[in-house]
Each structure stands twice: as C-alpha cells, then as structure tokens.
Amino acid sequence: MSDSEISDGLLEVPRPSVVTGDDLSRLLVLLLKGVVYRESDVGSWAQLVTLQARARDYLMVLGLDLIIDEAEGYAFVRSRTTEVDEEAADDGQVTVPRLVARRQLSFAVSLLLALLRRKLAEFDARGGESRLVLSRADIVDLLRVFVPDRADEAKLFSQIDTHIQKVVDLGFLKRLGGANSSVAPTYEVRRIIKAFVDAQWLSDFDARLTEYRESLGRDLKAVSNSHDD
C-alpha cells in the first residue's frame, strides 16, 4: 500500500525516510551555491530543517554560519566575522580565509536595496498579501526622487535597468515572467533582503536622504559625461 499498511488488523504508519550522508552533502552544496528557498524546493527545505544541527557543525569548520529563517522560508550561509577574528588579523595571526567573498556594491545599488527593504517593511505593516511585487515603473519611481530634475530620462532609465539587473543577480529581486516577454517586467522582492538590510540601517535611512540624493546625482552626471565623450 502507498501510504500505510494493514497488519494484524492494525493500521501501521510508515516510518519516515532515512536521511543519509549523501542528503547532507547535497544540502551543503546547495547552500554553498546560493540561497535555499522553501517555496522553490519543499523537499530540500524539509531536510535542511531536520539536518540543520549537523549542517551547522560542518559549515563551522569552514568558517561559515548557517542562517535559517523558518518564518520567511529561506536559508543561506555567511562568513563568521567576529571581533576576535578581526583582532587576530590585525595582530598578524593566521585566520580562516573567507570562503564566501564580500561583494563591493555601487552606491546606487546599495540605495536601491535600502529602498526595496523599506518598501517591504511598509508592505508588511499593511498586512494582507505575502509577496511584494513591483513593476519596473514602481522601481523607477523609488529612485527618481534622488535624481536631478534635468537628468536625461533615456540615460536614467538605462542606468536604473542596470541597477535592477544587478539586484536580480544578487538574488534580492526575482523577475516574473520570461525575459523576452512583450509584457512590461515585474519583480518580486525576495524576503532574504531583510537579512542584509537590518532595522538599524532603516532607522538611519531618512536622516541620510539628502546625502544619498547628492551622491546619486553626481554618479548619474559622471555617467552622462562619459557617454557624451
């Protein structure tokens, strides 16, 4: 029988499948390749939740921490950078090399991440739907307030598209629909962004808006001048 068996007149519940070392290895490879989402792979997610203690032990040897948010449904690894590690490096002591490299983001991409994170916080505060989906026009509107009034719109849109694609590549936005679709693109804001743009950053956000506007304006002006050359 598929789900249960009858034996001696009693209903026997089948035993759960045995998790093997190969299952753990596969999960570790998935984590090292990127973010694991519950919605994308329910089976792997269930195994990861079950094996998280063993996964943490293996990853700790590599200098990595396993971050699992069961409420939001994502898991990822990041390098363990502690004050002790930093002090040891300053003193010339041998430390574990970083397996997960740090990524240097441009100012505009960092700003877009912060704006998307704030938009997600506002969306969650209203309740209702669980997925925040934005159109390209919505994202352009988020950034327009930081752009000089006389900015060349064609160049502006081209730059913003570049920033959006970078955020997609980083895994914080998910493009919905085919890339070659004739319909205007829409994007889902992935909830893992909450793990990278924290509440403290958001609390300082409004106080730094003028600085962001001036900096982004300089960046766009520099791009415009380079195109003119």
pLDDT band at 171 (very low <50, low <70, confident <90, very high): confident
Of 207 and 158, the structure prediction assigns the larger pLDDT to 158
In this predicted structure, the answer to whether residue 133 has a pLDDT above a threshold of 70 is: yes
Residues 6+ apart with CB under 8 A from 106: 163, 166, 219
Question: What domains sit in the chain, N to C, each tagged with a CATH number?
Answer: 1-101 (no CATH), 107-228 (1.10.10)
pLDDT bucket at 50, cuts 50 / 70 / 90? very high
What is the pLDDT at residue 7? 38
Instruction: Name which of 138-142, 158-162, 210-214, 222-226 the model is least confident about.
Output: 222-226
SS3 content of the chain, % helix, strand, coil (to 5): 50, 15, 35
| pTM for the predicted model, two decimal places | 0.67
- Tokens 């032990």 belong to residue: 57
Q: Checking DSSP bridges between strand 10-12 and strand 186-189, what pairing results, if any? A: unpaired
Secondary structure E strands in 17-168: 36-37, 64-69, 74-79, 133-135
Q: Which of 34-48, 98-112, 176-190, 211-225 has the lowest mean pLDDT?
A: 211-225
**35: Cα within 13 Å, side-chain hemisphere:** 21
Average the pLDDT over each of 21-30, 179-188, 196-205 and give the range with the smallest value.
196-205
Mean pLDDT score, 108-137: 88
Closest CA to 45 of 32, 56, 31, 33: 31
Output the CA–CA distances (angstroms, integers) from residue 163 to 4, 81, 151, 222, in the order listed: 53, 28, 17, 16
**Look-up: residue for tokens 């700003």?**
111
